[in-house]
Chain A
């Protein structure tokens, strides 16, 4: 057993750990139940995908970016497509942009519901976990009805979208949204009034406004601390110029606030989906884009369910991109954990981790190396035995 010289010992959470269904690793130095140090070794989206894009043509590269993440696949492909369309200097038809946004919002709904279940499970609240995942099946079915797949929808082409929304699909979606909205009301109630739940979330993992900015947090985690930053409103892209979004914030900055912000965002997404379906612009589904994209550099920022996703795409005029840089939102949120984790109890760690909605496939692999205080290093071999 690993013991530091002053009697603390290190509790790893990950890489093989039942809490984290994807590979990820944090190490917490504990004295009894209190966490006194936290360190995280950050993984990345890299997995060879950025390099892989350089060896593939533009269309193949887009499919590759979609596989960065299963939960936020569409937003990755959308960002890449938008950046490429900027380089090509084409104007994507309004209908296509609107459909892109529609699917993005459905994806956001799916992601937030998934997260709700996982976070509840981390807190030992399995009933909430089961219910929210049961309801999530509804949005998965909707996505399957429109795109043909439950994840990795492949809805984009460079220049537009592949699928249209028929009137029957519109009705199905509206019905599904109505059901989900009713369920979300219920979850909002649970999250704000259930005593055992709020006992695990109020006042836990608090990140004040200034720290949130200084640490560079993103997405709902950032907005729960009162910072009104959302790429969809700050820098509207695709259909968001036609269908604006209201920023949801909360002032408490604790774990409960993060729950509340995400559930409120669900309601905002429902509103958006209805608005888009009622006002879908007429037009083509895509515009033709040349095989060789003109030389240049483009930056595209989008709001993934977890926060700002940043794409930098460079072309040298060829059939392949010459550089694709992807910076996912979860990366920004890791740093905040090491800051506000110490002082909390070990039992709060999984929920705090879940609170930032970490997307591990966006961050590949993580192996903890060092305890913040004692400088003790555990190498991979040690951790494998555990």
Chain B
């Protein structure tokens, strides 16, 4: 199937779960999904034979400097690839409640990405099969999340 057709058909599949769609480029589709709809959306993708979750990208979006009362967000991008097409599920959670559901039930290879999200961004992934450290050393301090913008280095005393 041609790339545009593939993206169109997956957009239809995701319609019940997504809040909005975007086409940043010819081969990419972004679908904004709420955290509570994430599992259903992933299941829908798997059922539609999009079986390759290439990776999960985490983004830290702190509150804008001129709105100190607003809240920062962590956004996770679940990139599914099929041929040339890349369909990305974008899920955003606030700092105050940084909880994602695990999608490993349908996509076992997601465990690596979820572990990274947890240790680098400080989110909680519910029911994830493993929450061992992926890359940080054992003696890395708890509660310090290196990929957050607020992290500028470990000051060892």
Contact = CB atoms under 8 A, between A and B. Distances in A.
B43 interface: no
Contact of A365 (B79, B81, B116, B135): B135
Contacts of A216: 52-53, 108-109
Contact residues of A: prevailing secondary structure: mixed
B50 to A, nearest CB: 12
A327 B132 CA distance: 19
B98 interface: no
B145 to A, nearest CB: 11
B138 A308 contact: no
A359 to B, nearest CB: 15
Nearest to B116: A44
B134 A299 contact: no
A215 B132 contact: no
A213 B134 CA distance: 23
A299 B28 contact: yes
Contacts of A369: 132
B106 to A, nearest CB: 11
A42 interface: yes
Contacts of A214: 51, 108
B141 interface: no
Interface stretch (B9-17, B34-42, B54-62, B66-74): B54-62
Contacts of B108: 214-216, 335
A297 B24 contact: yes
A41 interface: yes
B118 to A, nearest CB: 13
A77 B50 CA distance: 29
A51 B83 contact: no
Size class of the contact patch on chain B? 35 or more
B1 to A, nearest CB: 12
Contacts of A185: none
A323 B76 CA distance: 13
A235 interface: yes
A312 B81 CA distance: 13
Given A215-B108, A335-B109, A312 B57 contact: yes
A312 B79 contact: yes
A379 B138 contact: yes
B2 to A, nearest CB: 13
A327 B116 CA distance: 11
Interface in A68-97: 86
Contact of B55 (A50, A86, A215, A325): A325
A37 interface: no
Contacts of B79: 299, 310, 312
A165 interface: no
B134 A43 contact: yes
A341 B53 CA distance: 23
A332 B109 CA distance: 8
B53 A44 contact: no
A335 B109 CA distance: 8
Contact of A41 (B83, B132, B146): B132
Contacts of A364: 135
Contact of A380 (B84, B120, B138): B138
A112 B67 CA distance: 53
A124 interface: no
Interface in B90-136: 108-109, 112, 115-116, 120, 132-135
A242 to B, nearest CB: 17
B147 interface: yes
A308 B109 CA distance: 15
Given A44-B134, A215-B108, A216-B52, 18 more contacts: A42-B135, A43-B135, A46-B135, A51-B147, A216-B53, A234-B84, A235-B83, A296-B24, A299-B28, A299-B79, A301-B81, A308-B54, A310-B54, A312-B79, A327-B55, A332-B109, A364-B135, A369-B132
19 contacts: A41-B134, A43-B134, A43-B135, A44-B134, A51-B147, A86-B25, A213-B51, A213-B52, A214-B108, A215-B108, A215-B109, A216-B52, A234-B83, A235-B83, A308-B54, A325-B55, A325-B58, A327-B55, A370-B132
